[in-house]
Amino acid sequence: MAQKLMICEVLQKTHSAKTKAEKIKILRDNNSQALRTLFIINFDGSVVPRVPLGEDVPYTPNEAPLGTEHTNLIVEAKKFYYFFKGGADNLPNMKVENMFIQMLEGLYKDDAVAFIKAVNKSLHKKYRITEAVVKEAFPEIRWGNRS
């Protein structure tokens, strides 16, 4: 069995694909809850971040080589809800922001950048992956009414 690609690798591979059909196939072949959630965060306007917006996040990127990092988005996906309204609203904002920085610092650097871009609704500006491609690849996603 082949090693499962990291989210940043799936995004890059999809970005490099030439046709819509190729992009959809890559996304479906690498389908995961984390990948779908990243696209929901990016494209669903009802997902409202609790962390400050902007791509200039004050964290130290993890320079560990690919494959040796502490964690990845597939593992960390279960924590995403903390960073959005309706998730863990009882936690103080400062705690949520600290958790966000800690998660980013533990991620492989390209996964961290992808998550920051998704939170800022700009993932599709770095990777040529449109909302239409995502909707066709994952018709099971229900959009809206999330926060």
Domain ranges of the chain: 7-137
Tens-digit pLDDT profile for residues 56-107: 999 999 988 887 767 889 999 999 999 999 999 999 999 999 999 999 999 9
How many residues are listed for the chain in this entry?
A: 147
Tens-digit pLDDT profile for residues 53-70: 998 999 999 988 887 767
Report how far residue 73's alpha carbon sits from residue 80's, in angstroms, rounded to the nearest whole number: 9
Q: In whole angstroms, how far apart are CA 118 and each of 51, 52, 65, 90, 95? A: 12, 13, 23, 23, 21
Report how far residue 17's alpha carbon sits from residue 128's, in angstroms, rounded to the nearest whole number: 9
- DSSP type of residue 141: P
Asked if 86 and 147 touch (Cβ cutoff 8 Å), the reply is: yes
